[in-house]
């Protein structure tokens, strides 16, 4: 089974030969391969020749990531929201894995907030201003989405952080007014264009989970355990309507110990993978500063699970031995 086939089967709530795996971003390329993605500033004002060289540099790193970590999909996160990156990835990987692009800033969100005081005033006194801003964000997001889909993106990952650990950045009623309809139209547009819509937010989205279910998105990514998101409960509410990706706790991947990483990974796999509808990954990204060996240990646990390793940690005869490289 190819990675692409594995992804499509899981998203259809069918059980593939194993749960699919990829990460929204992997930023430890220097530690893993001794290579680096081009500096973000280098893209400003570069020539087409220089851009082509840098896109090729990105593809070289992506090939190594996909091969070493057996990714089943790739969201082209660098260059960011760039059709040339999507086209190059489709040429590089063909139909072996699912290729997607990222669209950020499509809704009112935490990361897009410039003036919290003015935002609070507008919520109370000038909601028309917020609706106008939300409509403009939607327009720009759909335009970006179209460029990525035209270049060959098979899925669109819509990233909008709308929740803190304590809950959404606005009340559920306000969320339903200022976020849900604008994000729903983006999801619907992606589907009309033949792309698979993914949505992302960190934080505790449980108070607005029904809003997310109403979008018609194929998959929700993050399922943030540091914000109290229990993937067993989220799976119970979402199964058959919206697949899930994530929930292996990033703070544990940052700090360890290995036993806690193992417990988090196994909890996700055991609670979320039965019946399909789950993509194994961290609750955010593989970010700079995370010890590479911790991510690789997480994948060792994943391989053991897929091979039928029991929860006690004792490998079957001839199976892989547990890692001793972590604290």
Q: Which value, in Å, is the radius of gyration of the alpha carbons in the chain? A: 20
| Side-chain-facing half-sphere of 248: CA atoms under 13 Å | 33
Instruction: Out of 42-51, 61-70, 159-168, 311-320, pick the least confident.
Output: 311-320
| Tens-place pLDDT, residues 77-89 | 999 999 999 999 9
| Tens-place pLDDT, residues 153-175 | 999 999 999 999 999 999 999 99
CA 224-226-228 angle, to 5 degrees, is 75
What average pLDDT score do residues 210-222 get? 98
Confidence at 312, pLDDT banded by 50, 70, 90: very low
Confidence at 219, pLDDT banded by 50, 70, 90: very high
How high is the pLDDT of residue 40? 86
Token pair listed for 18: 């194993």
- Residues belonging to the chain: 327
CATH topology of domain 3-40+47-306: TIM Barrel (3.20.20)
Token pair listed for 113: 């907030």
User: What's the predicted TM-score (pTM) here?
Assistant: 0.92
Q: Where are the domains of the chain?
A: 3-40+47-306
How high is the pLDDT of residue 322? 34
- Strand blocks (E) in the chain: 73-76, 98-104, 155-159, 163-164, 167-168, 196-200, 219-222, 243-246, 278-279
| Tens-place pLDDT, residues 19-35 | 999 999 999 999 999 99
Three-state SS string over 58-96 comes to HHHHHHHHHHHHCCCEEEECCCCCCHHHHHHHHHHHCCC
């Amino acid at each position: 089974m190819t990675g692409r086939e594995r992804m499509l089967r899981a998203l259809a709530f069918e059980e593939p030969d194993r749960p699919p795996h990829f990460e929204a971003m992997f930023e430890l390329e220097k530690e893993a391969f001794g290579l680096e993605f081009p500096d973000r500033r280098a893209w400003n004002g570069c020539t087409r020749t220089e851009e082509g060289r840098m896109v090729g540099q990105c593809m070289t790193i992506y090939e190594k990531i996909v091969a070493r970590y057996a990714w089943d999909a790739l969201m082209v996160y660098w260059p960011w929201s760039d059709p040339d990156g999507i086209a190059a990835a489709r040429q590089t990987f063909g139909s072996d894995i699912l290729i997607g692009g990222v669209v950020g800033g499509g809704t009112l969100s935490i990361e897009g907030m410039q003036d919290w005081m003015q935002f609070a005033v507008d919520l109370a006194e000038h909601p028309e201003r917020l609706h106008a801003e939300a409509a403009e964000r939607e327009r720009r997001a759909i335009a970006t989405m179209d460029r990525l889909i035209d270049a060959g993106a098979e899925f669109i990952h819509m990233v909008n952080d709308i929740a803190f650990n304590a809950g959404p950045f606005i009340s559920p009623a306000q969320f339903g007014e200022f976020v849900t309809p604008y994000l729903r139209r983006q999801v619907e547009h992606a589907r009309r264009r033949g792309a698979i819509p993914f949505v992302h937010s960190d934080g505790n989205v449980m108070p607005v989970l029904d809003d997310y279910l109403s979008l018609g998105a194929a998959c929700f990514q993050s399922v943030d355990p540091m914000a109290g998101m229990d993937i067993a409960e989220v799976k119970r509410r979402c199964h058959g309507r919206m697949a899930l990706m994530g929930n292996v706790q990033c703070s544990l991947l940052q700090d360890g110990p290995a036993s806690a990483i193992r417990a988090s990974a196994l909890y996700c796999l055991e609670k979320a993978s039965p019946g399909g509808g789950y993509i194994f990954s961290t609750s955010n990204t593989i970010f700079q500063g995370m010890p590479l060996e911790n991510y690789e240990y997480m994948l060792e646990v994943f391989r053991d699970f897929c091979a039928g390793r029991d929860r006690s940690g004792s490998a079957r005869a001839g199976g892989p031995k547990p890692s001793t490289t972590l604290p």
